[in-house]
Amino acid sequence: MMIREDCAALDAADKLAGCRARFALPAGTIYLDGNSLGAMPANVPARMKVAIEQEWAEGLIRSWNDADWYPAPQRTGDRIARLIGAGQGEVIVADSTSVNLFKVLVAATRMRPGRGVILAERTNFPTDVYIAESVAEMTGCELRCVDPEEVMSAIDENVAIVSLTHVNYKTGKRYDMEAMTRRAHEAGALVVWDLCHTAGAMPVYLNRCEVDFAVGCGYKYLNGGPGAPAFVFVASRHLEHVRQPLSGWHGHAQPFAFTHEYAPHAGIDRMLTGTAPQLGLISLESALEAFDGVDMEALREKSVSLGDLFITLAEQELAGLGFTLATPRDADQRGSQVSLRHAEGYAIMQALIARNIIGDFRAPDILRFGFAALYVRHVDIWDTIAALKDIVTSEAWNTEAFRTRKSVT
Ligand SMILES: *Cc1c(COP(=O)(O)O)cnc(C)c1O
């Protein structure tokens, strides 16, 4: 039997424990939703104050040059590159994940003329499927959505692109990026990986796995702030061949030449479209300092430790209360979240949030708990499981207020 003191001992031995002070976390709150909106790094407000009061208010248009606003998408992309195993000049920050996915899917399809299939997965985050549907319609391809276990065997010589999300948003199940990419390449297809639930949560080795394209989110484990811009990765070997469809002026070889003919930039800048959302970008750039000096393998080790602890304690404390585990038990098949199913999941999560323990809910019955290893502690896991146990045994969830669905779950 584990007790709370065992969890405190794990925290005392945690080499990353000091990183928690890099975040401004509300007192008395346990935050297990960094997979939806990352916590705010403590250095961000001061940076934003300068950005707003000096660079914007005082510097005005001059700040594109004087405050180095203009190269921020490249600079921030290079910072993210270290976290995802990419090289300098292969990652750029732009737009949202949905928009970047659209750009890379069209670009990749254009690189595989004569192949008619975009292979995707049924249980993916809906926006990924919606975008792929639209790309299929525009490019004359067929979108083939299969179950996660069937993806590998569905890759054949008609497939132009295999488009997958590395870690599933609901179940937390993770694909073997290297094996899947290799299989796709053997069949002559290109791969697009969505790293929304991966980037900042664990190390990724895009170049070691020979990945072609990737996209990901700035506001989840990268902690960039609500609606922070996303990123896009293009392997350097593909850069000169990439023609993305949203050919705006910021992707031009010489945006300020204002020529009538579009000529793509030679490098990763060609993935840009229009002007960056500069304040959101500055917020993301400064938030990334929370990763300074952090060994991503050590981060992963702690994330696994938190996930294993959650599963162990759920089995020890919640047996017979109607919960089932929706996430693989094997850490090698998991991302950085653990999900539980429960028929009353929505109301239970609302009751938990009322106690300042914040996870989230995904229909129909999934309670999600994300473990951002930079700031989540082992005792937080203990306290969360203890609260879940109390909420279910006392039926504290069973009120009108907790059962009523809000618009954002
Ligand atoms: C969070 C998430 C998105 C979000 O896309 P936006 O365009 O930023 O709203 C897309 N795909 C996956 C898999 C996600 O988890």
Res 350: pLDDT = 97
Question: Which tokens hold the place of 164?
Answer: 């997958």
Give per-residue pLDDT as tens, 304-344.
Answer: 999 999 999 999 999 999 999 999 999 999 999 999 999 99
For the question of residue 125 being annotated catalytic, the response is: yes
Closest CA to 385 of 393, 49, 112: 393
* pLDDT of residue 408 exceeding 90: no
Q: At 205, is the pLDDT very low, low, confident or very high (cuts 50, 70, 90)?
A: very high
- 339 - beta bridge partners? 368
Contact 248, 110 (CB under 8 A): no
Considering the domain 47-291, what is its CATH architecture? Answer: 3-Layer(aba) Sandwich (3.40)
389 CA to centre of ligand 1 in angstroms = 31
For the question of residue 194 being annotated catalytic, the response is: yes
Question: Which tokens hold the place of 206?
Answer: 């895009």
Q: Fold for domain 4-16+295-403?
A: Aspartate Aminotransferase, domain 1 (3.90.1150)
Give per-residue pLDDT as tens, 219-256.
Answer: 999 999 999 999 999 999 999 999 999 999 999 999 99
Give per-residue pLDDT as tens, 131-159.
Answer: 999 999 999 999 999 999 999 999 999 99
Residues of 294-303 as b/e, b for ≥16 C-beta within 10 angstroms? bebeebbbbb
Which atom of ligand 1 is closest in space to residue 125's alpha carbon? Answer: 13
Residue to probe by mutation, ligand 1, list 169, 193, 222, 337, most atoms within 8 Å of CB: 169
217 CA to centre of ligand 1 in angstroms = 6
Residue to probe by mutation, ligand 1, list 102, 127, 198, most atoms within 8 Å of CB: 127
Q: Regarding beta strands 337-341 and 230-234, do their DSSP bridges make them parallel or antiparallel, or are they unpaired?
A: unpaired
Res 28: pLDDT = 96
Give per-residue pLDDT as tens, 6-55.
Answer: 999 999 999 999 999 999 999 999 999 999 999 999 999 999 999 999 99
Active-site position among 125, 221, 361, 402: 125
Contact 66, 315 (CB under 8 A): no
135 CA to centre of ligand 1 in angstroms = 17
For the question of residue 33 being annotated catalytic, the response is: no
The single-letter DSSP state of residue 141 is P
* pLDDT of residue 290 exceeding 90: yes
Domain-wise residue ranges, the chain: 4-16+295-403, 47-291
